[in-house]
Structure 1
């Protein structure tokens, strides 16, 4: 059964600046650089879709995952951001693994707050593996929190 999660992240910049950055292909090109074997950026009417894929050595994963993963694990992440409308933008991040039955889905709600911008994250992590799937799902929640925290740091660095 998938594990649900919810958390908030705050950006210290106004929503217009944060959204403009998240939908700027130049931000993504600079951020992605040569890190990923495959990346694709599609821009349409104030919205963006960014897909990245890579293969990683399973030895770099937490031991619980490394024990059951193939030696090379394929990962794909897709970020989507819609246009800014009435002080809010909707987005999503999806992650899947090739080589393990793992899927992460999040919905993102970017809103203006009193002195910052708030990102509300609702998601699920699903690992279709008996016995250890639930343990891996808990690890994935923490991984998503860390990942989106690094995303915030990258946006703030870009805006500084």
Structure 2
């Protein structure tokens, strides 16, 4: 069983500008420093105007985890996230994301879409499935993890808008 996450955010900036920011290594390092948690780092990175691939490491301190998760995933957690983006045409990008939590029965995978909107801005859409392979408790933990992922995506979107506005 898995739990689906649907997330969407809009920006006043066009997709080409948002894409260029989202795949910039300086931006990624700054975002990780601000909201990536303990041990966060940009592990791999390649990007140009046609596509990008990067691997990030996030950290979660055990004390910040909900009790239901701490019982199954004791200790601090390291999350490895790989994103790939491909330019379809000006103003339209498709991507995929793979998330692994080494040493745990949890993972996530999904797709992403970044596209221009009629008002001159853009929209980012993410759809992913969170899977926790734990009998009986897996569904509950998937719900908790899905909510944490939504919070992270919201924080990342806010950081991106601040960065684009020049508030680095």
TM range (shorter): 0.7 to 0.9
CA shift at 1:80, angstroms?
2.4
TM-score normalized by the length of structure 1: 0.86
CA shift at 1:151, angstroms?
1.5
SS of the equivalent of 2:139 reads helix
TM-score normalized by the length of structure 2: 0.83
Residue matched to 1:90 = 94
Q: Distance in 1 between matches of 2:15 and 2:146?
A: 25
Tell me which of 141, 145, 152 is aligned to 1:140.
145
Q: 1:145 to 1:55 in 2, by over 3 A?
A: closer
Residue matched to 1:74 = 78
- Check if 1:158 corresponds to 2:163: yes
Higher alpha-carbon deviation: 128-137 or 144-153:
144-153
Residue matched to 1:26 = 26
CA shift at 1:155, angstroms?
1.2
Q: Distance in 1 between matches of 2:113 and 2:10?
A: 12
CA shift at 1:61, angstroms?
0.5
Q: 1:84 to 1:99 in 2, by over 3 A?
A: same
CA shift at 1:122, angstroms?
1.3
CA shift at 1:63, angstroms?
0.7
Spell out the pairing of 1:6-25 with structure 2 (5 A cutoff): 6-25=6-25
Q: Distance in 2 between matches of 1:158 and 1:84?
A: 24
C-alpha contact 1:41 1:48 (8 A) present in aligned 2 = no
Q: Distance in 2 between matches of 1:57 and 1:29?
A: 19
Structure 1: gaps spanning 5 or more residues: none
Q: Distance in 2 between matches of 1:15 and 1:73?
A: 33
CA shift at 1:54, angstroms?
4.7
Large movers: runs of 4+ above 6 Å: none
Structure 2: gaps spanning 5 or more residues: none
